[in-house]
Amino acid sequence: MSCSSAPRLYSRKKPPGLFFREDWKEIPAATPITQEHVAAADLILSLYGPGKANIRKSHHDTPADDPYYVWSGECEGNWAVSLCGTTARLSI
């Protein structure tokens, strides 16, 4: 095998696109995060684990385009967040 053929043999395919993307509602943060924070009406939020009471939706005022996100900085145990679609057979 020559070096000139290696890039062609090992080239990667383009990764698949997102199945869905959830943008959180731009409302004040709360601890714990609640269904009210989920922007998509067809997604159900579930929280799991002993640390679930401290999962928070958060963001920073600057920069202006800072996205809202799930923050777990004060969780005192394991935790998990899932979003389950009401119209699709998929849980994330």
Residue 38 is predicted with a pLDDT of 94
Give φ, ψ of 48 to 5 degrees.
-135, 155
On the question of pLDDT at 4 being above 60, the answer is: no
**Of 81, 75, 79, which is closest to residue 38 (Cα–Cα)?**
81
Over the stretch 58-67, which tens digit does the pLDDT of each residue have? 888 889 888 8
pTM: 0.70
Domain boundaries, the chain: 22-85
Q: Does residue 88 register a pLDDT over 60? A: yes
Tell me what pLDDT residue 6 has.
55
Residue 45 has pLDDT above 90, yes or no: yes
Question: What string of DSSP letters covers the chain?
Answer: --GGGHHHHTPPPPPPPPS--PPBPSS---SS--GGGB--TTEEEEEESTTGGG-EEE--SSSTTPPPEEE-TT--S--EEEEEESSSS-B-
